[in-house]
Amino acid sequence: MLESRLAVLVLAAGQGTRMRSSKPKVMHELAGIPLLGHALHTANALSAGNVVTVVRHEKDLIGEYVNAYFPTTKIAEQDEIPGTGRAVECGLSALPADFEGVVVVTSGDVPLLDVPTIEALLETHLAQGLSATLLTTFLEDPTGYGRILRSNDGEFIEIVEQRDASEGQLEIDEVNAGVYVFDAAALRAALAKLGTHNAQGEKYLTDAAAEILRAGGGVQAIAIEDSWLVAGINDRVQLSEVAAELNWRICESWQRAGVTILDPASTFIDVTVQLAEDVTLLPGTHLKGISSIAAGATVGPEVWLVDTAVGQRASVIKSHVTGSRIGDDATVGPFAYLRPGTDLGADGKIGTFVETKNAVIGAGSKVPHLSYVGDAEIGADSNIGAGTIFANYDGVNKHRSVIGRGVRSGSHNVFVAPIRIGDGAYTAAGTVVRKDVDPGALAMNVAPQRNLGGWVQQNRAGTAAAEAADAAEQASTETTEQN
């Protein structure tokens, strides 16, 4: 059908009181994006001339999100009259005044609804020349949903909301999914006639279907088998149930695309993540935001990865990684903390108990043990000794350290920034490096060591240390005597 004759309205004006949250319900996240983001992705994939989202509660916050991520989506504001029917009326007013054609209505709190489901609904609607076509499903526990009333021969009669339903009607397990296709003119006419005579004092969109039927329009309610696709989220219990189901589906689709996932129950992947073939994800792995993992890499167990790109055949074990890049064949962890701006070159290593931030670490370079590397640039093939700290902060400002290539720094160094270490330089163990080091030089500033003989026996007599020292002295005297 022509794009200009198709409009999609996504309802997102409700507060979502059942979430008990200062954040509007549709902004709660599921697999890394707000509920509304899921609904708008689907709405925008329908090739409709107009996509409108209806807002009211926290409209500025929601509007900002919509403008940033769905700039072509129009925003309509609902007025003080409550209810989904009023929301649709307000949404319609954002369409061109002469709009004729088909209006798809979906909810910001039904995140798993997909494009094929709506397309099938549209197809039936158009093929049969209906005025309203709505989606239903059968639920073991239909509590909270509107129930579908049908005649003895199965024809749709009306939708009764939970709060308005009789005991007998509450037994009905076919529910309204909150997904509709309407003829625009029939919808406008029906909404104009609706009141708010119900338990919630709201203008219900659900009443429009029966109203269209009364006006002589054709209405059909079509059930889908996969109820998850139309699961609505009203509280945090439903949020976690849908999150778990969506995660299964995301994991399954990556498995089918060639990713080994040992334990999908403990592996969580945002919808924004990209994975290549032959990636292996070990248990306890969380992949978040704009992250990607290239072919052959292994991530996990127990990795938290946010907005990070992992290179081919790289390995990340038991680590927390944000806003970083990990090169091909590089290794990270166990127990590493990579903060934003970390860029580890190919074949590089960030090892155990190492924290990095704004640190470009060259190809083949290693920071293997117990170090902090902040605001630094390390050339290729350098090795940073165990326990090295990049002192980047003077209490007021942050400064950079630049380490050349092929550098060997000793254990337990402090690089006091700003500092430059030339290519191929060495620094001795325990050195506090305050002055730049020329290429090929050895830097050392450690005071010469003095050994005070017999100090322990004199000052710590009777301790285990003094006894051990005595015994060693005794043994060495005996050896000398034997010789």
Please give the angle made by the CA atoms of 311, 315 and 321, to the nearest 5 degrees.
80
Alpha-carbon torsion 257, 260, 266, 269, what sign? negative
Query: Nearest approach, Cβ of 205 to ligand UD1 (angstroms)?
Result: 5
Q: Is residue 165 near ligand UD1 by the rule CB under 6 A? A: no
- Contact between 95 and 8 under an 8 Å Cβ cutoff? The reply is no
**Considering CB distances under 5 to 8 angstroms, the limit depending on partner class, which of ligand UD1, Ca ion, none binds residue 84?**
ligand UD1
Nearest to 50 by CA among 76, 69, 68: 76
Chain Cα centroid distance, residue 321: 13
CB-wise, 14 or 348, nearer to ligand UD1?
14
Sheet containing 298-299, strands listed edge to edge, beginning at the edge strand earlier in sequence:
260-261, 280-281, 298-299, 315-316, 331-332, 349-352, 366-369
Residue 114 CA to residue 42 CA, distance in Å, equals 6
What Rg do the C-alpha atoms of the chain give, in angstroms? 33
Interface region with ligand UD1, contact rule CB under 6 A, candidates 96-104, 127-135, 171-179, 404-412: 171-179
Query: Nearest approach, Cβ of 232 to Ca ion (angstroms)?
Result: 4
Residue of 232, 311, 351, 404 interacting with Ca ion (CB under 5 A):
232
Q: Is residue 51 near ligand UD1 by the rule CB under 6 A? A: no
Tally of CB atoms within 10 A around 98: 5
CB-wise, 110 or 287, nearer to ligand UD1?
110
What is residue 225's DSSP assignment? S
- In the set 41, 320, 369, 399, the catalytic residue is 369
Interface region with Ca ion, contact rule CB under 5 A, candidates 232-240, 296-304, 330-338, 360-368: 232-240
Residue 112 CA to residue 245 CA, distance in Å, equals 10
Residue 369 CA to residue 460 CA, distance in Å, equals 34
Residue of 32, 101, 178, 364 interacting with ligand UD1 (CB under 6 A):
178
- Contact between 67 and 59 under an 8 Å Cβ cutoff? The reply is no
Interface region with ligand UD1, contact rule CB under 6 A, candidates 172-180, 237-245, 284-292, 299-307: 172-180
Helix (H, G, I), strand (E, B) or coil at 332: strand
Q: Is residue 111 near ligand UD1 by the rule CB under 6 A? A: no
What does the H/E/C string look like for 428-463?
CCCCEECCCECCCCEECCCCCCCCCCCHHHHHCCCC
Instruction: Tell me which residue has its CB nearest to ligand UD1.
Output: 146
Q: Is 369 a catalytic residue?
A: yes
Residue of 34, 37, 111, 146 interacting with ligand UD1 (CB under 6 A):
146
**Total site size for ligand UD1, rule CB under 6 A:** 29
State which H helix or E strand residue 262 sits in: none
Interface region with ligand UD1, contact rule CB under 6 A, candidates 62-70, 174-182, 216-224, 312-320: 174-182
Q: Is residue 34 near Ca ion by the rule CB under 5 A? A: no
Q: Is residue 202 near Ca ion by the rule CB under 5 A? A: no
Interface region with Ca ion, contact rule CB under 5 A, candidates 224-232, 238-246, 354-362, 416-424: 224-232
**Considering CB distances under 5 to 8 angstroms, the limit depending on partner class, which of ligand UD1, Ca ion, none binds residue 11?**
ligand UD1
Backbone angles phi, psi at 262, to 5 degrees: -65, -40
Q: Is residue 211 near ligand UD1 by the rule CB under 6 A? A: no
CB-wise, 214 or 434, nearer to ligand UD1?
214
Residues contributing to the site for ligand UD1 (CB under 6 A): 11-14, 26, 54, 78, 82-84, 86-87, 107-110, 145-146, 159, 161, 175-178, 204-206, 232, 234
Residues contributing to the site for Ca ion (CB under 5 A): 109, 232, 234
Active site positions, annotated: 369
